[in-house]
C-alpha cells in the first residue's frame, strides 16, 4: 500500500487513547517513508481520545502526511468525532496543495508546514507570516480525486478591521507546539511562550497566575487643601492597586501524554482511586468504632457525672470493676489450664 500509491490516495486511520515511548522515532520513520513518495503519499488520519495520549504526536503524524487530526476528550463525543473523521477522508477533492508566487517573500512561515488536503466536510485554514510585499494574486496547484492536475488563480483581498493574528493564534500555537515537541528546539519553545503571552492563549510552555487586587486610598485623613483639589481633578490619582493574593494555577495544557496511565490501562477520563480491599475496609471500620467508643466514654458529660458521685458510690464502683477483673483473670487461667 505504501509502495504503489501513484493512482490513489491511501489513508491510514490511527485511533488511540494512550502513549508509547518511541513516538519521535515513529515520526522519523514515517517522515522518511512518506516524503520519498513521488506523487501522492499515504495520509494518516489520527484521533486522540482522552488526555492520556500525546495529541502533539498524533498531530505531527497528520502534518507529516498531509492528513487530519481530531480530538475527543470525553466518551460522549467519540462517536461524533469518528464519524467526522471518516466523512472528511471520504470527501477529499483536492490533494497535494501548493502555492506559487511566494518566492520573493522573506522569512516566510506557513501553518501547517505541509498543507493538508481540501475536503468538503472540513474547512481548510492556512495561515502564515512573512516580510516583504505580498503578491496581488496567488496560483494554487494540486491533484483532483482522479489524480489529474488542477490549478486556480486566487485574488488576494486585504482584511480591514479583522484581527487575523488573534483569530489564528491558537491554531499556530498548537502547530508550533507539535513541531517543538518533535524537534525539542528551545528557541521554538520560547517563541511559543511569547505568542501565548501576547495573545492570552494557554500553551504547554506557559503558566497562568491569578492576581487579586483591591483599590485602597493612600495617605491619611489629614490631607492638605492642595491634595484635596488635586484628588478632585483626578479621582484615580489617590487610589492605588494593592496586591492581596497571588495564586499560581496549574498548567492548563493537555500535556504530552501519560505513559504510566497507558501501562496501567486506565480508562480515559478516570482519575478516581481504586476501591479499597476488604482489609482496608475492616481496618477503617474498626478505627471508626474505637474512635466513637472512646469519644462517648471520655466525653465531658461522663467526666462531670463521675465527679458528682459520693465516696460510697465510688468505692462500690471500684469494687465492681475489681471483681470483673478477677473473673476475667480466672476465666483466662481456666482456658490456659484446659489447653495444657
Kindly tell me if the per-residue pLDDT of 77 is higher than 60: yes
pLDDT tens digits for range 100-126: 888 888 889 999 989 999 999 888 999
Residue 301 lies in a domain: yes
Beta bridge partners of 172: none
The CA angle 88-92-97, to the nearest 5 degrees, is 120
pLDDT band with cut points at 50, 70 and 90 for residue 66: very high
pLDDT tens digits for range 8-34: 788 999 999 999 999 999 999 999 888
Higher pLDDT, 320 or 289: 320
Contacts of 106 (CB under 8 A, 6+ apart): 130, 131, 132
Q: How many Cβ atoms sit within 10 Å of the Cβ of residue 221?
A: 5
- In this structure, of 149-153, 176-180, 214-218, the range with the lowest mean pLDDT score is 214-218
pLDDT band with cut points at 50, 70 and 90 for residue 148: confident
Residue 302 lies in a domain: yes
Across the chain, what does the average pLDDT equal? 77
Q: Is the peptide bond before 72 cis (omega within 30 degrees of 0)?
A: no
Q: What is the pLDDT of residue 104?
A: 84
Kindly tell me if the per-residue pLDDT of 298 is higher than 60: no
By CB atoms closer than 10 A (0-12, 13-18, 19+), residue 117 is: buried
Residue 323 lies in a domain: yes
- Residue reference for cell 498548567: 251
Residue 312 lies in a domain: yes
* Three-state SS annotation for the chain: CCCCCCCCCCEEEEEECCCCCCHHHHHHHHHHHHCCCCCCCCEEEEEEECCCCCHHHHHHHHHHCCCEEEEECCHHHHHHHHHHHHHHHHCEEEEEEEEECCCCCEEEEEECCCCCCEECCECCCCEEEEECCCCCEEEEEEECCCCCEEEEEEECCCCCCCCHHHHCHHHHHHHHHHHHHHHCCHHHHHHHHHHHHHHCCCCCCCCEEEEEEEEEECCCCCCCHHHHHHHHHCCCCCEEEEEEEEEEECCCCCCCCCHHHHHCCCCCCCCCCCCCCHHHHHHHHHHHHHHHHHHHHCCHHHHHHHHCCCHHHHHHHHHHHHHHHHHHHHHHHHHHHHHC
Higher pLDDT, 113 or 235: 113
Domain that holds residue 301: 287-339
Residue 317 lies in a domain: yes
Kindly tell me if the per-residue pLDDT of 227 is higher than 50: no
Residue 250 lies in a domain: no
Higher pLDDT, 323 or 204: 204
Share of the chain above pLDDT 70, in %: 66
pTM of the model as a whole = 0.67
User: CA–CA separation, 179 vs 202, rounded Å?
Assistant: 17
Q: State which of 280-284, 319-323, 333-337 shows the largest mean pLDDT.
A: 319-323
Q: Would you say 2 and 30 are in contact if contact means Cβ atoms under 8 Å apart?
A: no
Residue 238 lies in a domain: no
Contacts of 86 (CB under 8 A, 6+ apart): 13
Residue 247 lies in a domain: no
Q: What is the pLDDT of residue 250?
A: 61
**Domain tally, the chain:** 1
User: CA–CA separation, 69 vs 47, rounded Å?
Assistant: 6
Q: What is the pLDDT of residue 52?
A: 92
Kindly tell me if the per-residue pLDDT of 175 is higher than 90: yes
- In this structure, of 66-80, 96-110, 147-161, 256-270, the range with the lowest mean pLDDT score is 256-270
Q: Which of these, 87, 119, 112, lies nearest to 98 by C-alpha position?
A: 112
Over residues 201-221, the mean pLDDT reads: 69
Amino acid at each position: 500500500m505504501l509502495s504503489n500509491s501513484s493512482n490513489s490516495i491511501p489513508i491510514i486511520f490511527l485511533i488511540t487513547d494512550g502513549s508509547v515511548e518511541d513516538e519521535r522515532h515513529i515520526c522519523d520513520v514515517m517522515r522518511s517513508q512518506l516524503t520519498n513518495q513521488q506523487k501522492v503519499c499515504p495520509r494518516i488520519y489520527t484521533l486522540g481520545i482522552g488526555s492520556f495520549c500525546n495529541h502533539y504526536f498524533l498531530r505531527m503524524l497528520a502534518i507529516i502526511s498531509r492528513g487530519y487530526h481530531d480530538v475527543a476528550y470525553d466518551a460522549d463525543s467519540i462517536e461524533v468525532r469518528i464519524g467526522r473523521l471518516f466523512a472528511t477522508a471520504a470527501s477529499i477533492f483536492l490533494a497535494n496543495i501548493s502555492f506559487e508566487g511566494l518566492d520573493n517573500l522573506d522569512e516566510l512561515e506557513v501553518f501547517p508546514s505541509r498543507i493538508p488536503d481540501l475536503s468538503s466536510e472540513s474547512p481548510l485554514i492556512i495561515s502564515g507570516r512573512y516580510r516583504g510585499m505580498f503578491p496581488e494574486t496567488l496560483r494554487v496547484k494540486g491533484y483532483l480525486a482522479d489524480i489529474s492536475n488542477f490549478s486556480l488563480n486566487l485574488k488576494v483581498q486585504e482584511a480591514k478591521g479583522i484581527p487575523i493574528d488573534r483569530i489564528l493564534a491558537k491554531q499556530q500555537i498548537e502547530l508550533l507546539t507539535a513541531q517543538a515537541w518533535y524537534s525539542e528546539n528551545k528557541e521554538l519553545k520560547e517563541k511559543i511562550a511569547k505568542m501565548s503571552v501576547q495573545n492570552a492563549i494557554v500553551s504547554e510552555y506557559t503558566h497562568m497566575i491569578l492576581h487579586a487586587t483591591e483599590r485602597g486610598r493612600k495617605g491619611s485623613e489629614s490631607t492638605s487643601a492642595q491634595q484635596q483639589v488635586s484628588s478632585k481633578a483626578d479621582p484615580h490619582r489617590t487610589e492605588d492597586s494593592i496586591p492581596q493574593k497571588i495564586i499560581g494555577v496549574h498548567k492548563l495544557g493537555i500535556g504530552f501524554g501519560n505513559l504510566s496511565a497507558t501501562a496501567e490501562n486506565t480508562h480515559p477520563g478516570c482519575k478516581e482511586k481504586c476501591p479499597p480491599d476488604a482489609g482496608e475496609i475492616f481496618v477503617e471500620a474498626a478505627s471508626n468504632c474505637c474512635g466513637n467508643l472512646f469519644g462517648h466514654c471520655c466525653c465531658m458529660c461522663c467526666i462531670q457525672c463521675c465527679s458528682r458521685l459520693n465516696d460510697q458510690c465510688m468505692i462500690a464502683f471500684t469494687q465492681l470493676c475489681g471483681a470483673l477483673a478477677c473473673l476475667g483473670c480466672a476465666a483466662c487461667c481456666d482456658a490456659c489450664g484446659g489447653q495444657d
